[in-house]
Chain A
C-alpha cells in the first residue's frame, strides 16, 4: 500500500489523499467512507456544522488519530504503514493552526516558534532568533517575541500560532476554524493573511471552517460534511454549490437555514408571519 496511488504516474502524488476513510470514537462512527484528494498548491475547504467531525478529520489528516477503516495517504504514502520515526518526519512537513491556537503557554511567542527549530534543525542560535523575528513580522507581530500567550489578544494568539505553524516552512498548512472566536475584522484579516501566505509560499492549504464569510472569501475546492447522513454530502466550489443547490443540508448551511427558522412558527400558529 505504500505506493504511489495516483493514476497518472508522471505527476507527483497529491499531498493528501483520503480513501474509504471511516472515522469513529470507539464504536461511535462520526463520518463514513470519505474519499477526496487535496491537490498540491491549492486551497481546500472542509465545511460543516458544529460537531459534525471537522476537527476529527483534521486529527486524521495530521496523524494524531488512526482511521477506524480506510487510508490516509500523504504524498502518496500510506501514513499509518510508516514507522514511528518516518511518521514524525512526515508530521513535521505540515504546519497546524489549532482551533484555540494551542500556543505553549509556558513559553514566550519567540520560544514557541523557536522550539521546533531548536529541536529539528541545526541552525545557530542567532539564526533561530532571526527566523523567529521574521515569522512574527510575517503575521504582523514584529516585536512581540517576548510576550507570553496569555498577555495578547485572541486574534494575535491565532496569528502567533500561524507563525509557529510556519516555523519549519511546511508544505501543507492546516487551519482549524481560523476565524472562530474573532471579531469580523480580525477574522477577515486572518483570511487575507492565509490567502497571501499561500500565494507567496506556494503551500497547500486545508481550511476547516463553518464560517460562511470565510468560505466564500477563500473559495477553493470544498467538501461538506453532514452529520445527518454521516458522509461527505457535497463537494465543489462553494459558490457553485450554492447556485446549483442540490443538497438540502448544504443549502441550509450556506444560507444559514433561512428556510427553516420560520417553519416551526408557521406550523404553530397557522400563519407564516411571526
Chain B
C-alpha cells in the first residue's frame, strides 16, 4: 500500500470503508526504511464510517511507535476531527491499588473483606438491639403508622400467596406420603405425616421462602433506593436515626407477622392434606382428624411457630442490612436485592438445621 512519489511514503486509502466488511491490518504494511513523514491520500476514498477509524487509530499508534510524523491534511476534515478525538489521550484516572498482586496478597485482601463484612453485620445487629431496647423504654423514633403499614405489607398482603402455596404443599405432601404408606396399608398415617411435617417444619420453611422473595427483597430494594436517592442521608442529618425510623418498623413487622402467617399456613396445609385424605384416600373427615390430633403434639406446633419467629427476625435483618449497606447506583440496588434473598435463604436453612438438631436432642 505504501508508494513514494517524492521521497516520503504515501498511504492511499480508497474505495468504501464500512463496518462489517473486511479491513486491511496495519501490521501488514511494509514500512520503508528511514521514513520521516507519512502522507495520507484520500483521493479515491468514497464512503467511510467508523471502520476507517478502526484502521487509522492503530496506524497512528504505529507511527507514534516508529517516530514517524503523520500528515493528516489529506484526510476529509470530518474524518480528521474524529481521528483527533479518538487519539486524544485521556487524563489517567487515579486508582488506588491497595490490593497486592500474588496469591498471598489476594488471600489477605479477601480475608480482610470478609472480616469487614462480619464486623459490619455485627454492628448492624448490635445497633438494631439498641433500637429495640430504646423502643422498650419508649424512646425510639419510630412511628406507629410505619409499623402498621409495614405489618400490612408483610402480613395480610401476603395472605393470598401463603394460602395458595400452603394448601398446595399440604396436598402434595399428602399425595407423595400416601404412596409408601399404602405399601404397608398404613394410609391413615398420612394424617400424622401432614400434622407433624407441616406444623413442625414445612409450613415455617414455606412461609419463610415466600417471604424472603417477597418482603425481604422489597425491604432491600426500598432501603437501597432510599440510600441511592440520599433519602437516608436526609434523615440522618436531621438527627433522625434511620435504624429506628426505617429498620425497626420493618424488623418488628416481620417478627410479628411471620408466626401469624405460619399458623395460617399450618391451617391451610392441613386443609390440603385433609382434601387428599377424604377425596383420594377415602377416609372420613372425623377419622382423619382424630388420627391427626392423636399423633401430633402441641409441641410440634410450638416448634414450627418458634422457627418462623426466628425466620422473621432473620429475614428482617437480612433485608434491611442489604438495603442499608447498598451502594449508591441503581445496579447496587439490584445486587442488594439479590443478596437479601440469597442470604435470607441461607440463614434460614442454617437456622432450621440448628433448631432441628437441638429440638431432637432435647426431645421436644
Q: Which residues of A contact B (CB under 8 A)?
A: 26-28, 59, 62-64, 87-89, 91-92, 94, 96, 98-105, 115-116, 119-120, 164, 168, 264-265, 268-269, 274
Contact = CB atoms under 8 A, between A and B. Distances in A.
Contact of B84 (A100, A116, A268): A268
B96 A28 contact: yes
Contacts of B104: none
B233 interface: yes
B96 A91 contact: no
Interface string B225-264: 1100111011111111000000000000000000000000
B72 interface: yes
Contacts of B238: 91-92, 115-116, 119-120, 168
A99 B237 contact: no
A92 B230 contact: no
Q: Count chain A CB atoms within 10 A of each CB in B84, B231, B236, B240 and give the residue with the most.
A: B231
A91 B231 contact: no
Contacts, number: 72
Given A28-B96, A91-B239, A269-B73, A104 B234 contact: yes
Nearest to A55: B230
B91 to A, nearest CB: 9
B98 interface: yes
Interface in B305-335: none
Given A96-B234, A100-B229, A105-B229, A265 B84 contact: yes
Contacts of A120: 238-239
A103 B231 contact: yes
Given A26-B98, A91-B238, 7 more contacts: A64-B233, A91-B237, A100-B230, A104-B235, A116-B240, A119-B141, A120-B238
B81 interface: yes
B123 interface: no
B134 interface: no
Given A27-B98, A104-B234, A105-B231, A268 B239 contact: no
Interface residues of B, number: 25
A-B residue pairs, 6 tightest by C-beta: A88-B239, A102-B230, A102-B234, A98-B230, A268-B84, A28-B96
B80 interface: yes
Given A27-B98, A119-B240, A264-B88, A269 B234 contact: no
B96 A64 contact: no
B131 to A, nearest CB: 14
Contacts of A91: 236-239
Contacts of A168: 238
16 contacts: A27-B98, A91-B236, A96-B237, A98-B230, A98-B234, A103-B231, A105-B231, A119-B240, A120-B238, A168-B238, A264-B88, A265-B81, A268-B72, A268-B84, A268-B87, A269-B73
A208 to B, nearest CB: 13
B84 A269 contact: yes
Interface in B212-232: 225-226, 229-231
- Could you say which of B72, B98, B230, B237 has the most chain A C-beta atoms within 10 Å of its C-beta? B237
B284 to A, nearest CB: 52
Contacts of A274: 81, 84
Contacts of A264: 84, 88
Contacts of A98: 230, 233-234
B208 to A, nearest CB: 26
A100 B96 CA distance: 28
